[in-house]
Amino acid sequence: MAGLQQKRTHTPVVADDSCWPLLYMYYPADSNPDDQAFLAHTEEVIRAVHARHGVGARYVVLADLRHFNRSVNPSARRAVGELLNRICDDYGYPTAEAVVVRSQILRLMVTAVNFVQFQKKHERRAFPTLEQAHKWLIGEAKRIDDLTLPTSVPW
């Protein structure tokens, strides 16, 4: 993507699929959804994971935003929702998504992204800890798609 040719002004997003079908997404503190280069890099990272596993692969997402602490304006929330829609339209929607956030403001942001991504076909919930999010994902993956997730994860 063109955005990757520019100098990065942020720490890269990490997409760890080593525990597939659990996709762990880590968003560093300096993540900036207002920055087109950040969005382009994030899209490339997520698409690379999906390219490895194929269209229609069943999976769950654990999005770690514990260190992310900035407010996000409405146009950036819309851009994130639209980015997720494009990726899901191309590769398929996750079975479930757990977002780990520490502040109430960020929980509201998750709700706003849900609103933009209104046609999503999966449950997305916000949790205060990785442990709570992971436990919920284990149950949802089994209940919805009979996916077995690892009970121990490296993060």
Please return the burial class of 117, using the count of CB atoms within 10 Å of its CB with bins 0-12, 13-18 and 19+: buried
The pTM for the full model equals 0.84
Q: What's phi and psi for 44, nearest 5 deg? A: -65, -40
Of the candidates 145, 33, 142, the residue with the CA atom closest to the CA atom of residue 92: 145
Question: Is residue 60 within 8 Å of 141, Cβ to Cβ?
Answer: yes
The structure tokens listed for 35 are 């920055």
Secondary structure class of 145 (helix, strand, coil): helix
Q: What's phi and psi for 22, nearest 5 deg? A: -100, 120
In angstroms, rounded to a whole number, what is the distance separating the alpha carbons of residues 91 and 100? 23
Question: Is residue 99 within 8 Å of 134, Cβ to Cβ?
Answer: no
Sign of the CA dihedral with 61 first, then 66, 67, and 73 last: positive
Q: How many CB atoms are closer than 10 A to CB 144?
A: 15
| CB contact set of 121 (below 8 Å; sequence gap of 6+) | 88, 93
The one-digit pLDDT tens for each residue of the chain (155 residues) are: 444 444 556 678 999 999 999 999 999 988 888 889 999 999 999 999 999 999 999 999 999 999 887 777 888 878 888 898 899 899 998 999 999 988 877 777 777 666 655 566 678 888 999 999 999 999 999 998 898 998 888 87
Question: Is residue 57 within 8 Å of 88, Cβ to Cβ?
Answer: no
